[in-house]
Amino acid sequence: MANKILVTGGAGYIGSHTAVELINSGYEITIVDDLSNSKESAIAGIEKITGQKVEFVKLDLRDYDALKELFANNKFDAIIHFAASKAVGESMQIPLHYYRNNIQCLLNLLELMDEYNVPNMAFSSSCTVYGQPDQLPVTEQTPFKPAESTYGNTKKINEDILRDAARSNEKYQLIALRYFNPVGAHETAEIGELPLGVPNNLIPFVTQTAAGIREQLSIFGDDYGTPDGTAVRDYIHVVDLAKAHVIAVDRLLGKKNKANYEFFNLGTGKGSSVLEVVNTFERVNDLKLNYKIVDRRAGDVEQTYADTTLANEELGWKAELGLDEMMKSAWAWQQKLN
C-alpha cells in the first residue's frame, strides 16, 4: 500500500506543486486547506496534471475537533505542513491573526501527531528566519537576526516549537525546509501562484505588468552595494522546491534522518539582481517590460542567497532549473490566467 501523506495548504502555491510531485512519486495524498488564500481550482489542476483524483478536505487547522476527526479517520504516514498566512505587509497590520493562525495550526498538528502516532513532518519554513544576515552565503549555522516582520517571526517561533517538541519527545521526526525566493510555475501551466490583490512579490508583479494588469513595475532601489545596484535574491523554481519535499518525506519514512529535528536551506545558491530578473524575463519571453527605478522599499535586505551544501550532500537534492525556466513558466501561467 502506498504511504499516505497529509498535505496542509495543498491548494496553495508550493503545496499544489508538491502534491503533484508526491503523486508522481507514488504517494497517496490528502489535501487540507481552508481556501483562505487559495482556490479549489488548484485541486483540479493537480488532478489534470497527474490524471488522478485527489482527496481534498476543506478545513481550518485551528479547528482542533475537525482536525482530530481527520486524524481519527485516516492513517497518515507523514505530514507536510504548508498551511499558513504568508503576506509580510499584512502581518504587520494584523499581527495577532498571524500569531494565532501560524502558531495554533502547528500546535494542533503536533498534538494530534503525538496522539495518533504520526511522527513525521516536513515543515515549510523560510529564509526570513535569518533576518538581515551578516555573512553570505547563508548557511544553516548563520545566526538568526531579529525577524523583520511578524510573518518572519511566526516562522522563527514555529521552528522553536519544532525544536523543543523534538527535544522533549523522541517520537517526533521533523524536518524544517527554509525556502529562499520560490518563483515560476508547473510546466503545464495548470497550477501556479495566485496572488490576491496587488502583488507584493517581484515575479507576480512582473507578469501582471507584462499582461497589462499593472501599468508599471517599480524597481525598489538601484543604489545597493551590488554589481548593478539592485537588490539580490536567490530565486528558486517552485518545482525544484516541490521535489525537495518529496525527498524530505522519503528521508523520514526511510529513517535516514540523522536527528529527530533537522533543517535545510533550499535555494539555488546563486544570487540574481532585480534587473537580471527583469532582463531575463524580457529575453526569454521576447517582450518589453515597462519599469522605473524608485526608492528602496522599507525593510528590504540588500542581498541574500543560500549556501545549499547541506541539502546537496544530506538530501542529495540540487536545484536543476535556472532563471530562464522560472521566467518562462511564470509567464506561461500568467497568460493562462488572463
Assign residue 243 a region: left if phi > 0, alpha if psi is -120 to 50, beta otherwise? alpha
Amino acid present at 202: L
Per rule CB under 6 A, count of chain residues that contact ligand UDP: 14
Cα angle value 157/243/13 (rounded, 5°): 60
151 assigned to active site: yes
Rounded Cα distance, 19 and 42, in Å: 10
Which is nearest to 243 in space by CA: 9, 45, 2, 19?
19
Binding marks (x or -) toward ligand UDP, 85..124, rule CB under 6 A?
----------------------------------------
Does position 219 interact with ligand UDP (CB under 6 A)? The reply is yes
Does position 188 interact with ligand UDP (CB under 6 A)? The reply is no
Q: Which of 151, 179, 261, 305 is catalytic?
A: 151
3-state secondary structure 89-119: HHHHHCHHHHHHHHHHHHHHHHHHHHHCCCC
Does position 132 interact with ligand UDP (CB under 6 A)? The reply is no
- Nearer residue to ligand UDP within complex by CB, 106 or 231: 231
Does position 205 interact with ligand UDP (CB under 6 A)? The reply is yes
Strands (E), the chain: 4-8, 28-33, 55-58, 78-81, 120-126, 173-179, 181-183, 217-220, 232-233, 235-237, 261-266, 272-273, 291-294
Does position 216 interact with ligand UDP (CB under 6 A)? The reply is no
CB of 152 to ligand UDP, least distance (A): 9
User: Which residues in 294-313 contact ligand UDP (CB under 6 A)?
Assistant: 297, 300
DSSP bridge partners of 262: 175
Which SS3 state, helix, strand or coil, does residue 121 take? strand
- Indicate which single residue of 233, 243, 245, 251 sits in contact with ligand UDP (rule: CB under 6 A): 233
- Nearer residue to ligand UDP within complex by CB, 116 or 291: 291
Binding marks (x or -) toward ligand UDP, 250..289, rule CB under 6 A?
------------------------x---------------
Which SS3 state, helix, strand or coil, does residue 303 take? strand
- Give the footprint of ligand UDP on this chain (CB under 6 A): 181, 200-202, 205, 217-220, 231, 233, 274, 297, 300
